[in-house]
């Protein structure tokens, strides 16, 4: 009887471990993509593990209005930055619908909404969020219900 209970507990525990767990993410910005980032294409999906790399890609600036929510100085000690940049003739706003972790993979599901467009002006619109660093080997980006990229976490 004891063995049956132990096996039942192990089975239930393994099912629980296989479930996706919610990951709490925080959004920061507004940030802009630097002209010197070297990134190209209609979109980029990034996982950044250190401040130096982040600073080479993004800047921030504001003159009036609401003060931006910038990354804390020690953010990379316990977090990674996951970022999406969409480029084109319109600006984009993002809404993170959910973030989950299963095993060593974080999945970020978000909605991207374009506004404007049709002109000759080109925009880049970043989404910058933090996710917990511990045990994460890769990040999947799911935009508007479709998986658009999987990015491995680079070793430091």
The structure tokens listed for 81 are 């930055």
pLDDT band at 17 (very low <50, low <70, confident <90, very high): very low
Q: In which band, very low, low, confident or very high, does the pLDDT at 4 lie, cut at 50, 70 and 90?
A: very low
Quickly list DSSP for 15-26.
HHHHS-EE---E
Are 90 and 117 a contacting pair, CB within 8 Å? Answer: yes
**β-bridge pairing 146-152 and 138-143:** antiparallel
User: Is 29 a residue whose pLDDT tops 80?
Assistant: yes
* DSSP three-state, residue 107: strand
Sign of the CA dihedral 117, 43, 150, 148?
positive
What is the chain's mean pLDDT, rounded? 87
Distance of alpha carbon 146 from alpha carbon 124, whole angstroms = 21
Q: In sequence order, which ranges of 28-119 are alpha helices (DSSP H)?
A: 51-57
């Amino acid at each position: 009887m004891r063995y049956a209970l132990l096996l039942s507990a192990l089975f239930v525990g393994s099912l629980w471990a296989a479930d996706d767990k919610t990951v709490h993410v925080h959004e920061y910005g507004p940030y802009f993509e630097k002209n010197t980032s070297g990134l190209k294409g209609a979109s980029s999906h990034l996982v950044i593990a250190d401040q130096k790399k982040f600073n080479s890609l993004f800047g921030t600036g504001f003159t009036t209005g609401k003060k931006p929510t910038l990354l804390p100085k020690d953010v990379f000690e316990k977090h990674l930055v996951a970022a999406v940049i969409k480029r084109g003739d319109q600006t984009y706003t993002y809404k993170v619908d959910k973030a989950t972790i299963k095993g060593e993979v974080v999945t970020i599901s978000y909605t991207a909404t374009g506004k404007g467009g049709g002109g000759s002006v080109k925009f880049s619109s970043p989404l910058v969020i933090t996710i917990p660093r511990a045990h994460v080997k890769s990040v999947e980006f799911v935009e508007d219900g479709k998986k658009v990229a999987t990015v491995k976490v680079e070793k430091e």
